[in-house]
Structure 1
Amino acid sequence: MFRRKANAHSDKETEELQRESKMKELKAALGPLSGRNLQFCDDACLRRYLEARNWNVDKSKKMLDETVKWRSSFKPEEIRWHEVAAEGETGKVSRASFHDRQGRSVLILRPGMQNTTSIDNQIKHLVYLIENAILNLPEGQEQMAWLIDFTGWSITNNVPIKSARDTINILQNHYPERLAVAFLYSPPRIFETFWKIVKYFLDAKTFQKVKFVYPKNKDSVELMTSYFDVDNLPTEFGGKATLKYNHEEFSEKMVEDDVKTAKLWGFDKQVNSEQPNGFSSAEVAPEPESDTPTSISAV
């Protein structure tokens, strides 16, 4: 028995050494990095991309190269709340004030609350909130959880296939290993037709993270509560908490987080002569009025 334990420990050490070697190999393959690319491609990032490609260095490098190119063009770290606030008026995507049992950030998605028609703006809004969820991860945690509420969803306000495909592409190719689990709570039967198409856009790893939960299915409910404290979980997802989205309060929180984002990426060091506080108008949304409360309701 002791020999088996020793062997298991030795195997684990060997595996970790091999992974460290592959991280060094990937870092060398990427070549010299600077600025935001250097900040983005830290050791944790390299590990996520290697994990996403089963520790194949060549495939991981290709994936990471594509992400660096995408980030250079899309500039997700530069998006500020005032640019996407109109998309969030109905609360169709928001970051919850609670975490799951593992301390992960939680995004709540309500596809039935769609309020706009521009796919580009919808994706920009989602990317902003993915970045915001990452910003609010506790130390040592790298993943988030998604809760999807189908209240009000119908085939008439359904997300277009192209939008769903683009969203999945961004999530699994540019934010690999950021999603821990996505719970689809009580989707209507008609959703099955949509799902039969969408699921083919998912890679095997992402597919395994998607969980369907039905209130009358004991096993699926137990799985969900293994991830969430029912006292924190909103009633819309079978919990005990009241979920109420307040756009004004949520906006105030996002503006506060925009300042954190600017500091994280070094934008606070860029002095603009027209902005005595050191931020340009493109970097941070306007500060809320002084007489506006700064609290955020549980969402």
Structure 2
Amino acid sequence: MDESREIALTQMRKSVEKLGSSTQNYGDRTLMRFLIARTMDPDKAAKMFVQWKKWRAALVPLGFIPDSEVQDELEARKIYLQGLSKDGYPVMIVKSRKHFPSKDQLQFKKFVVHLLDKTIASSFKGREIGNEKLIGVLDLQQITYKNIDARALITGFQFLQAYYPERLAKCYLLNMPGFFVSVWRMVSYFLEKATLEKIVIVSNEDEKREFIRDIGEEALPEEYGGRAKLVAIQDVILTPMEN
């Protein structure tokens, strides 16, 4: 790590302490994600980190969201976890046609945390490093107006921006119907430039080939041009992490 980053990390740790919190138990790579998200500004990164800790303590007091707390959302079997891309990123696929707007927004927020945490954890090799990223695939094939849920999309992306900084490697949007374009335009209004730059709308054969190449046939299900089988996220069993 170069000297400027070391200095920024030291300043961030001091700023976190001034805000009445602590960076104890958090490694440099975790803190660096917050610094990168705040253009290497130690004070802004410290504020973001402290807000993240408070948010986790309030919404995720156990440190994770168990299946039992999000059972209604899991029963739809709309989220799939496909192993690692060729670059080592876990691949999460969302089948939008199986999603319907939730009547319980708190449970939906917990569901977003559950799936992001589990997807990230699926890339751990024994223990968390702190800078693991994920790939999201949003499949819009066969959606109808009943499946449209702008609030859910905004919640998911805002959670990534505010509470999972630098965790998103890339997000692919597949099979976008014409009527969804205006919805996506509205959702995009709430996204930061750095997030938008990681989103790829796959709309032609060349882009589809690049999508398959980026993820790799080993992780990509057959229906998307790969060789894998779809695996629902609740069917993925993770081994306990080392301390």
TM over 0.5: yes
1:127 aligns with 2:117: no
Counterpart selection for 2:78 from 92, 101, 105: 92
- Paired with 1:180 and 1:107, the residues of 2 have a C-alpha distance of 12
Which residue is 1:52 aligned to? 37
Which residue is 1:106 aligned to? 91
Which has the larger share of helix?
Answer: 1
Number of residue equivalences: 235
- Paired with 2:221 and 2:151, the residues of 1 have a C-alpha distance of 30
Q: Aligned with 2:85: secondary structure?
A: coil
Q: Aligned with 1:190: secondary structure?
A: helix
How far has the Cα of 1:48 moved from its partner?
0.3
- 8 Å contact 2:212–2:224 — kept in the other structure? no
Q: Which amino acid aligns with 1:131?
A: D
1:1-299 equivalences in 2 (<5 Å)? 16-31=2-17, 38-39=24-25, 41-75=26-60, 77-96=63-82, 98-115=83-100, 116-139=102-125, 142-159=132-149, 161-214=150-203, 216-218=204-206, 220-243=207-230, 245=232, 251=234, 253-254=236-237, 260=240
How far has the Cα of 1:131 moved from its partner?
0.7
- 8 Å contact 1:95–1:129 — kept in the other structure? no
Change (3 A) 1:236 1:150: farther
How far has the Cα of 1:231 moved from its partner?
4.3
Q: Which amino acid aligns with 1:95?
A: L
Q: Which amino acid aligns with 1:205?
A: A
Q: Aligned with 1:38: secondary structure?
A: coil
Which residue is 1:280 aligned to? none
Looking at CA atoms only, which structure, 1 or 2, has the larger radius of gyration? 1
- Paired with 1:213 and 1:183, the residues of 2 have a C-alpha distance of 7
- 8 Å contact 1:147–1:185 — kept in the other structure? yes
- Paired with 1:18 and 1:184, the residues of 2 have a C-alpha distance of 37
How far has the Cα of 1:151 moved from its partner?
2.6
- Deviations, residues 1-34 of structure 1 (Å, cap 9, x unaligned): xxxxxxxxxxxx8xx2101110111011111756
When the two chains are superposed, the root-mean-square deviation of aligned CA atoms in Å is 2.4
Q: State the identity %.
A: 25
How far has the Cα of 1:182 moved from its partner?
0.4
- Deviations, residues 88-121 of structure 1 (Å, cap 9, x unaligned): 122212322x211111111111121115432321
Change (3 A) 1:62 1:33: closer
- Paired with 1:164 and 1:153, the residues of 2 have a C-alpha distance of 14
How far has the Cα of 1:162 moved from its partner?
2.9
- Paired with 2:159 and 2:88, the residues of 1 have a C-alpha distance of 23
Q: Aligned with 1:148: secondary structure?
A: strand
- Paired with 2:219 and 2:16, the residues of 1 have a C-alpha distance of 42
- Paired with 1:91 and 1:121, the residues of 2 have a C-alpha distance of 16
- 8 Å contact 1:104–1:138 — kept in the other structure? no
Unaligned segments of structure 1, at least 5 residues: 1-12, 265-299
The TM-score with structure 1 as length reference comes to 0.71
Change (3 A) 1:231 1:170: closer
Change (3 A) 1:109 1:25: same
Bigger relative contact order, structure 1 or 2, given CA contacts below 8 A and separation 6+? Answer: 2
The TM-score with structure 2 as length reference comes to 0.86
Q: Aligned with 2:87: secondary structure?
A: coil
- 8 Å contact 2:95–2:139 — kept in the other structure? yes
How far has the Cα of 1:244 moved from its partner?
5.7
